[in-house]
């Protein structure tokens, strides 16, 4: 983004005003929660907490299926780690 300012000769007095628009923070990240990339595949509880935070209707059939798939993959990942 800064290179774009230089390339177009746009030089705002306070570039932070414009740059703030491109910073993507979610309420979970600002409240101390870990981001999705900080969660290991083996930490099922954190994954479930993130899923519940993102899914509005937990009774939705697709949401339940997604939860089951994530849980199964997490368990399989742990089993593979213990085998090797």
pLDDT in tens, 2-18: 677 666 666 655 666 66
pLDDT in tens, 40-50: 766 778 888 88
CA pair distance 84, 82, nearest whole angstrom: 6
Spatial separation of the C-alpha atoms in residues 46 and 63, rounded to whole Å: 16
Statement: residue 32 has pLDDT above 60: no
pLDDT band for 82, please (50, 70, 90 cuts).
Answer: confident
How many residues does the structure list for the chain? 84
Q: Which ranges constitute the DSSP H helices of 1-84?
A: 2-8, 15-19, 27-30, 44-54, 61-83
Q: What is the dihedral of CA 5, 35, 59, 71, to 10 degrees?
A: 130
């Amino acid at each position: 983004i800064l290179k774009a300012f230089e390339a177009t000769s746009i030089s705002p007095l306070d570039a932070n005003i414009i740059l703030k628009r491109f910073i993507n923070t979610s309420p979970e990240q600002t409240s101390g929660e870990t981001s999705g990339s900080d969660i290991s595949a083996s930490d099922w509880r954190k994954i479930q907490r993130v899923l519940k935070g993102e899914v509005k209707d937990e009774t939705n059939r697709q949401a339940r299926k997604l939860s089951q798939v994530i849980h199964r993959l997490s368990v399989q990942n742990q089993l593979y780690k213990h085998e090797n």
